[in-house]
Amino acid sequence: MMKALAGFVLVLSLVGGAAHAEDALPAGRAEAAKPLIAEQCVKCHVVPGFPADRVQPAVNAPSFEEIAANPARYPDSQIAAFLRQPHYPMKGFVLSKRDIANIIAFIRSLREGR
């Protein structure tokens, strides 16, 4: 029951925050996201151009390639709203607006490279 409630709250927060998520972000730079991706994201996500040996397979996080390939499922506004919320295993890790914009720019660059 608690998992269902937590999932519902997450969906509500994503839907509620999605409309304003992109508006407040600065312009991102894909290249600027790389150090953060190397330090944090590759622990849970397979990211093109980065070794996959640090990924924790039990986390079941989508790869950045999967996110990039599915913009209808993962629109920029939803990614921004999700990254604003601490999430497992990043409960104590808070991203700045600049970091979020840079990660989105990196994902966009993967979309454009298709």
pLDDT at 58 over 60: yes
Q: Which domain holds residue 56?
A: 2-112
**Across 28-50, average pLDDT:** 92
CB 63 within 8 A of CB 45: yes
The count of structural domains within the chain is: 1
Residue 21 has a pLDDT of 43
Q: Examine the pLDDT at 65 and tell me if it is beyond 90.
A: yes
This prediction's pTM: 0.74
- Return the structure tokens found at 106: 């990196």
Tell me, what CATH number does 12's domain have?
Answer: 1.10.760
Q: What is the rounded distance in angstroms from the CA atom of residue 108 to the CA atom of residue 76?
A: 9
What is the per-residue DSSP string for 53-70?
GG--GGG-PPPHHHHHH-
| 27 vs 11: CA distance, rounded Å | 26
Alpha helices in the chain (DSSP H): 2-21, 30-39, 64-69, 76-84, 97-112
